[in-house]
Amino acid sequence: MKISVIIPTYNEEKVIKECISSLKNQTLKDVEIIVVDDGSTDGTLGLLGGVSVFQQKHQGPAMARNLGVKHAKGKILVFVDADMIFAPKFLENLIKPIEEGKTKGTFSKEEYVSNWDNVWARSWNINSNLPAKKRLPDDYPDHQKVFRAILKSEFDKVGGFSKGGYTDDWSLSEKLGYEATVALGAVFYHKNPDSLGEIFRQAKWIGKRKYKLGVLGILVALLRSCLPVSIVIGLVKSILIFKIVYDFGIFIGILEMVITGKTAK
């Protein structure tokens, strides 16, 4: 069964080569790799040898993934990020429950931090109350809104992802009416932001997410990310500089979304 792996990129020159290399070294060989560049301004495009490449103006990862699917030949779609690295059996184990007819879409809980030796990457976990070296809590459920793999027929049924910013990858499950189920043994490694600049940019994007309580939720988020609160929590968790930069990113992201309506990075 043909698998199409789709990777949206936006200024990923530091990580994309290792991501692609680990996908080319999978035990599963009937795989096509599709990269959709979302308007990168760095050297990303020059590092995309040996894969199918498509380009679009900067619209965010949801639209990039949708464009990739339009060119995909596989019966199963796999969605990954450019800052991920994959164990050799990742794809094989990720799609196994789908091939066995147990589910229509999967994800993996075996997601580890790839740059744990970096102080800012460790601070990211501390801030998010995550266990050491892991990207998900130990008690994470066996289902979630984000699909790593899904039947292409299911994706096509609802027209793919909707544009929505940080949480746009939730839109597929919301439109389908069901969530991804866990696939065992699909081990992969995901990079945490490891510089103050990356922390600020990622936090700014997170700040542009949808808020459950609408305007009230936005106001609460602004309060939580204001400087006095950041200082108190940063001191308690011993991540003062990280917390100030992270919360400032959240604060600016919210303001940018409210003022301009922009939800992309």
pLDDT by 10s per residue, the chain, length 265: 699 999 999 999 999 999 999 999 999 999 999 999 999 999 999 999 899 999 999 988 999 999 999 999 999 999 999 999 999 999 999 999 999 999 999 999 999 999 999 999 999 999 999 999 999 999 999 999 999 999 999 999 999 999 877 888 999 999 999 999 999 999 999 999 999 999 999 999 999 988 888 899 999 999 999 999 999 999 999 999 999 999 999 999 999 999 988 877 7
Asked whether residue 150 falls in the same domain as residue 206, the answer is: no
Beta bridge partners of 129: none
Whether residues 150 and 24 fall in one domain: yes
* Same-domain status, 117 and 13: yes
Q: Please give the tally of structural domains in the chain.
A: 2
Residue 145 covered by a domain: yes
Q: Is the dihedral of CA 173, 174, 176, 181 positive or negative?
A: positive
Whether 181 and 210 map to the same domain: the answer is no
Bridge-based pairing state of the strands 143-144 and 180-182: antiparallel
List the domain range (segments joined by +) for residue 109: 3-190
Do the Cβ atoms of 38 and 64 come closer than 8 Å?
yes
Examine the domain organization and report whether 36 and 130 are in the same domain. yes
Same domain membership, residue 83 and residue 185: yes
Inside any domain, residue 265: no
- In the three-class reduction of DSSP (H, G, I as helix; E, B as strand; rest coil), residue 31 is classed as strand
Alpha-carbon gap, residue 86 to 25, rounded angstroms: 9
Whether residue 205 sits in one domain with residue 130: no
Q: Which residues, in sequence order, are bridge partners of residue 106?
A: 149, 181
Say yes or no: 150 and 254 in one domain: no
161 and 204 co-located in one domain: no
Last residue of a domain, one of 160, 175, 190: 190
Residue 47: Cβ within 10 Å count? 16
Q: What is the reported pTM?
A: 0.92
- Picking from 160, 190, 220, the residue at the C-terminal end of a domain is 190
Q: Do both 125 and 201 map to the same domain?
A: no
Query: Are residues 74 and 121 located together in one domain of the fold?
Result: yes
CB distance 78 to 3 below 8 Å = yes
Last residue of a domain, one of 175, 190, 205: 190
